């Protein structure tokens, strides 16, 4: 992963100030994230990481995510932003791209079906 000199890896592991965090009595969701206690390198790939090492690291990160009380909030954050790197909410960047593509397809199908239903209703009312 390409690291910018002004943004250390640790900062990238948890949402920064740019993220509108959901606030509740306990504070922002990311304050409860289990990954805050783990090494950020587990969630973000070093440059030129071999495939087998990446897969093993991602599985380890997903195990951390699986026991996290804010996994869903983290996942939604990563999908909304969208976060281009790392494991967030138990999903890799590639898995998040698949989820986003499915959401877009589902939205388009819903729009198309509601447009079809609307047209059929107008035809029936006119007849």
**Which residue positions form the known binding site for [4Fe-4S] cluster?**
35, 65, 68, 74
Query: What are the angstrom distances between the C-alpha of 89 and each of 5, 57, 126?
Result: 26, 15, 50
The whole-angstrom separation of Cα 4 and Cα 66 is 29
**Bind-site residues:** 35, 65, 68, 74
Consecutive H or E run containing 19:
none
């Amino acid at each position: 992963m390409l690291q910018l000199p002004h943004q250390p890896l640790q900062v990238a592991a948890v949402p920064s100030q740019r993220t509108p965090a959901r606030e509740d009595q306990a504070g922002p969701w990311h304050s409860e994230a289990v990954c805050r206690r783990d090494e950020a390198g587990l969630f973000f790939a070093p440059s030129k990481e071999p495939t087998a090492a990446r897969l093993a690291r991602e599985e380890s990160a997903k195990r951390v995510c699986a026991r996290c009380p804010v996994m869903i909030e983290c996942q939604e954050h990563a999908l909304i932003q969208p976060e281009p790197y790392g494991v967030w909410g138990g999903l890799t960047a590639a898995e998040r791209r698949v989820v986003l593509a499915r959401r877009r397809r589902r939205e388009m199908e819903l729009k198309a079906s509601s447009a079809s239903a609307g047209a059929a209703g107008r035809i029936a009312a006119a007849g």
